[in-house]
Amino acid sequence: MSARKFAVFGAGGVGGYFAALLTRAGYPVALIARGRHLEAIRLDGLRIESPKDTFTVTPAQVTDHPKDVGPVDAVILAVKTWQVPEAALAMQPMLATTTKVLPLENGVEAPDQLEEILGREHVLVGLCRLISAVVVPGCIRHAGVDPMVALGEPDGGSLTPNAKALADALKAAGVAVQTPADIHAALWDKMLFIAGVSGAGAVARATIGELRQCPPTRELLRQLMEEVSAVARSRRIALPEDVIPRTLAFVDTLPATGTASMQRDIADGKPSELEAIIGAAVRFGEQAGVPTPALRYVYASLLPQEKRARGTY
């Protein structure tokens, strides 16, 4: 097994799941966690419940102090979108000259935020497809969708050695890894999907199965995707011509009981990624003069709850 060392910053449904897969595959993983989740993993390990299998692993290191980890070859960043700048500052003790950071946040702004704090040389552009969540401290339930990670260098060039090492490790751990020729288009492709499913699901308070089976709500889903596509193209993002029908077809394959993480947070009265997903698309539309009436409706409908959750009223 490779002597390379990886860190996963954020032990929620995404970060914890990938940390567990890498650990099971034999890679030394330092997991940055916090609170009761951290203590549970320290005591009993990290348990994954999945439709395919259930297993428990003990990561090489579990801590809430990045400085205790020291330099690693690559970091998977899997915190909530609004935590990215704070996490970037906190992870600096884990960065050597060639360390790469792979953000797996929703939205499209994390790579730029990381670059501003850490420098372009450390930053990858990335995304994942996965439905998983922490169900109790120390336990993550993978509800569906085979895990996929896409990554690339910001300039579109060949992967640097540490980026390739992370990609190879994820493949060895059972993750489908893609290295798209245009990683920025892939990132906006994911943005289009998550804005549609999160936005329509949150305002309709509906599962994915209910969304796609109710004609007016499915139309809202399509309209949200159309508007994100228009915003992306205004920013010279080369989305494929078939992105809308292809994404709707993908939605039709998802578990009927599934919901998006933003939607779940809103339903639970927690702070959500509303600003990074729906709010960002609205802001970018305003900047480019692109109309976004459906996105604006969703944003206006959900913003009061978001303000309550954050205590900003």
Looking at domain 184-310, its CATH architecture is Orthogonal Bundle (1.10)
Q: What percent of the chain has pLDDT over 90?
A: 93
Q: Where in the chain is the domain with CATH 1.10.1040.10?
A: 184-310
| Residue 59 near residue 27, CB atoms below 8 Å | no
| Residue 291 near residue 285, CB atoms below 8 Å | yes
Q: What percent of the chain has pLDDT over 70?
A: 99
Give yes or no for residue 270 having a pLDDT over 70. Answer: yes
CATH classification of 6-181, choosing from 3.10.20.90, 3.50.50.60, 3.40.50.720, 3.40.50.150?
3.40.50.720
Consecutive H or E run containing 249: helix 243-251
Q: What is the pLDDT of residue 2?
A: 54
CA distances from 135 to 37, 82, 132, 138, 189 (A): 10, 22, 9, 8, 28
Q: How confident is the model at residue 52 (pLDDT cuts 50, 70, 90)?
A: confident
Give yes or no for residue 235 having a pLDDT over 90. Answer: yes
CA distances from 94 to 35, 154, 218, 259, 301 (A): 21, 21, 44, 34, 40
Q: How confident is the model at residue 253 (pLDDT cuts 50, 70, 90)?
A: very high
Q: Where in the chain is the domain with CATH 3.40.50.720?
A: 6-181
**Pairing status of strand 125-136 against strand 139-152:** antiparallel
Q: What is the pLDDT of residue 3?
A: 73
Q: Which residues make beta-bridge pairs with 20?
A: none
Q: How confident is the model at residue 145 (pLDDT cuts 50, 70, 90)?
A: confident
Q: What is the pLDDT of residue 14?
A: 96
Closest CA to 177 of 163, 188, 189: 163
Average pLDDT score over residue span 249-258: 93
Average pLDDT score over residue span 198-213: 97
Q: What is the pLDDT of residue 1?
A: 46
Instruction: Name the pTM for this structure.
Output: 0.93
Weakest mean pLDDT among 37-41, 55-59, 155-159, 169-173: 155-159
Q: Quote the mean pLDDT of the chain.
A: 96
